[in-house]
Structure 1
Amino acid sequence: MHHMYYSSGIFGWIMGVIHLVFPLMVILILFRFFTGRGNSLLPVQSYRSERDPLEILKERYVGGEISREEFQRMKEEIRG
């Protein structure tokens, strides 16, 4: 039996795409929920908050963002 949504023309094409995309979206949402990766809408922020502060400081020093003195001072503050 021919489904009424799959008619000829642009509307039939759009409904076909929706029927393909919707199940994929549901699977993605369920995956993120069950793996714990759905806690933040901005994964970059959650990644940054989980990183070691000393590693971030080392990266900034190596990248030339801070001087050796600033690096030493901040490293002592982190450890202290």
Structure 2
Amino acid sequence: MYYSHGYWIMGGILMIIFAVILIVLIVWLAARNGSWGMGSWSPGPRRDPLEIAKERYARGEITKEQFEEIKKNLMG
């Protein structure tokens, strides 16, 4: 059978379009999920360091002395 070069060109163009769509989709999903490795596009709300220390103390991750030292350092 005889195939025109038009079919080869059209197939190549469609492959390029498909690859571009696939790359755009992957980048969009990665940005949406914030999975860039070094962080996300939006940092989110900033948490109070003293609240974080209180949570860590409540979970037993730090001792009372460590909590008091952190609190003293944060308060000035």
**Structure with more relative contact order (C-alpha pairs < 8 Å, separation 6 or more):** 2
Q: Which entry has the higher C-alpha Rg, 1 or 2?
A: 2
TM-score (norm 2): 0.49
TM-score (norm 1): 0.47
